[in-house]
A and B are shown apart, each in its own frame.
Chain A
């Protein structure tokens, strides 16, 4: 398989997943803002920080009010994580591999892009935001489902799943990170009752609440949520699960030794963590470590399969 083709599939999958997860991230923050008392003074800035977009944001906006941030996260093409930006890139990638992906999928990607673009305003305003984000999430899931159900499961499909799962692992850690950022002073007594609500909203934003209740069965507690979202093998949006998927795909590919070694390392890191001990600052640092691990794997893949060494 040509490197360019493999790379296009990989990034198409990443961008679609990114659009979906950016929608989820906005959702969790919106819920959080709505749930918290005014005194908590929850701001929107942390989500920009989490996406690593502060610099670009401040270049183009003079205040971090909700509207600006939403515009940045949904519609701004300068932001590589914005929903429309991601979908546009996914579409460009898909266009060059139209002989490889099913025709319906190309149409779905096109549809989703057009929907997201022409309805951006309703995502930015609070009134219809939930509906808009939900449409984006469902659209992305439809594409994932179509590909699983109709694409030929050869090397190309491995690259597709590689991209999707790496992006998913990355975004799950970012969504968790929303909580570890300085949204709340952890020791602030008056806010403890809200703690669980917030973790519940994190679970919900990953469509993980119901599964969490089924599997963990206890009430929603921070360490249990962290354990579920980081270490669970069988939940598709959990970090560890995504890593195992990446490992399985990589096993089908040539030149995979270093990549697999790095995955094993990262699996050890995440499994050996004790969520009870991951307080705010530690959690943030830990997430950094996981993201660094993912970057290493991405570099392995790029080097082994896509990079033009010559």
Chain B
């Protein structure tokens, strides 16, 4: 037996590869033909080859909590890629650049004049309660006014095929190493498919990241010292931290490896002595960065780091305080933010979002809670959410209470039916829901968007939870240039 597209069900839901029963989208046709011609045994072989590659390449993600401390799990991976036509991607790419540009202007404004607040486009009350706003950053101007150098925005597509931004991750977005590794695995497993297609490369991300980081170096030297600052091996993204450092040829450092002297210069401690550091790609949350300024109990941070940053002696990516725009209530204002700073209409829409701080919208949310997804403003990883249609009445009333008690902290969105893509379940393909996280790099000279991004897929039937810590998997994402074929 082999894969029969005729029996693949797509009714009523947008599928990334299949237009209607048995009919692949144009960009997916060569892939679907290829898969149709595979025997079960061959599918097994490809799957095993991918698993072997993942094992050999040591692609893992860390789950912390087990008795032994942390354990590494093999990365769950589906060998059927998700395909997007480059023509469609071009528009998404422009939309992401527009969005990140506006967000950077917004953050910079908040830490300076706060014009957007004065002009009453963004409510002062929201700024006041923002947990990710850092008053310590007021008046600081990072190079070229860029705060969010690395942004990971989550995109979803609804049942009609419209692409929305679901959220922007501006604190320490992860996943890009898996995007790169997924591609490596696919190249090993399906070299011949890569000949049939003109797939745009993703491999240049580490060098783009390096260039972005180098472009914000405060010292004008040919080779600035760039380091990746990790909380350490127990962090669930440690694999990625180590991977990116290695790919960029940068040092992977922990807080203890860095030292700020009384002239506010940052050094790392090497066996040759102190060695000056210019740029820190920090993967530690703001509040743990510098015990002198933030959480005094933090042992993973670097005392004096904020002094050095304020003095302009070191660049931090992302800049402290950038997370202020990484807030689900701020998210609701992004269309207004784009209009305010750029005078443009957003190219990629937001998912319609009800702000619970607004009286009318709140009462709509309370009345329709069983139809809505309710999200707290500052959680990530899918924690603390209510998925109305799937929740019990008890949970509905619990969330009504939460919303009433702290309306500013909640937004609600209609339940989207996420698009699906064919995913190998056993030897058959079945539709599974997915999302996409592209990464946007903003340096002093250029903005760069990854060709595609990390596609995460909910492996359980009907589920929309794509987080790998909650049983999600991933796929390689192909942006294909059909005109070049």
Contact = CB atoms under 8 A, between A and B. Distances in A.
A12 B477 CA distance: 41
Interface string A81-109: 00000000000000110110001000000
A2 B251 contact: yes
Interface in B235-274: 242, 246, 251-254, 256-257, 259, 261, 268-274
Interface in A247-264: 253-255
B58 interface: yes
Q: Which of the four size classes fits the interface of chain B?
A: 20 to 34
Contact of B232 (A96, A99, A253): A96
B482 interface: no
Contacts of B242: 98-99
Given A4-B257, A103-B58, A308-B259, A255 B273 contact: yes
B426 to A, nearest CB: 31
Nearest to B245: A99
B271 A3 contact: yes
B269 A255 contact: no
Nearest to B232: A96
Contacts of B253: 2
A305 B274 CA distance: 10
Interface in A287-310: 304-305, 308, 310
A305 B259 contact: no
A3 B259 CA distance: 12
B402 interface: no
A155 B246 CA distance: 17
A2 B272 contact: no
B271 A6 contact: yes
A3 B270 contact: yes
A112 B269 CA distance: 32
Contacts of A254: 271-273
A34 interface: no
A103 B59 CA distance: 13
A100 to B, nearest CB: 10
Contact of A305 (B58, B233, B271): B271
A1 interface: yes
Given A96-B233, A99-B242, A4 B256 contact: yes
B270 A2 contact: yes
Given A2-B269, A255-B272, 9 more contacts: A3-B270, A4-B254, A96-B232, A98-B233, A99-B246, A253-B271, A308-B259, A308-B269, A310-B274
Interface of A: 1-4, 6, 95-96, 98-99, 103, 155, 159, 253-255, 304-305, 308, 310
Interface of B: 58, 232-233, 242, 246, 251-254, 256-257, 259, 261, 268-274
